[in-house]
Amino acid sequence: MRPSFWQTLDHLARRLVPVGLSMLLVLLAAVPLTAPDFLRADPMISVLCVYYWAVHRPDMMGYVGGFMLGLLEDILMGTPMGVSPLVLLMVQWVIVTQYRFFVGKPFMATWWVLGLVALGALLVKALAVAVLTGYLASPSALVASYVLTMLLYPPQGWLFGRAQILLDKET
């Protein structure tokens, strides 16, 4: 039986929620919240988004979604074009290829792995930006960005978990 127009539209809308929600969070993260003479350190929101969906529902955010999220981040944050998509695609590939490890694992295990993945993503991004622009980020800014990323994973994971529950419900 062929699905109706409304069923097809509902399915498409559900498929776009992870990418749309991730893009909304990247847009919010682009709002400057720094004060003069304050350390500028941004959490890696896009890495958190791609990581969450790759771990919990790899079918909901494909490589195209990760690429588009990275392009949006590069445009908003002023990083060289292509750096964020490269990092996000690497994160997504690493998690998707190791998907069996994550099945049935508790939150603390996925948070611990995020620590390793986020550290790798941060170093790759900092190195790519340094090579392309000649600007080397301060170690204190990199540490602060890493710590903020790790601290934001539980609330962001909770938000995405609620969204996933709503997406999985049949209407």
Domain membership flag for residue 73 = yes
Measured distance between the N- and C-terminal CA atoms of the chain, rounded to whole angstroms: 18
Domain membership flag for residue 5 = no
Q: Please, are residues 25 and 51 in contact by the beta-carbon 8 Å criterion? A: no
Arithmetic mean of pLDDT over the chain:
89
Q: Please, are residues 77 and 94 in contact by the beta-carbon 8 Å criterion? A: no
> 81-113 as b/e, with b when 16 or more CB fall inside 10 Å?
eebbbbbbbbbbebbeeeeeebeeeeeeebeeb
pLDDT in tens, 34-52: 655 455 678 999 999 999 9
Domain membership flag for residue 149 = yes
Number of domains in the chain: 1
Domain membership flag for residue 33 = no
Higher per-residue confidence, 154 vs 1: 154
Domain membership flag for residue 78 = yes
3: helix, strand or coil: coil
Structural domain harbouring 60: 11-28+39-168
Higher per-residue confidence, 4 vs 122: 122
Query: Looking at residues 131-137, what average pLDDT do you find?
Result: 92
pTM of the model: 0.87
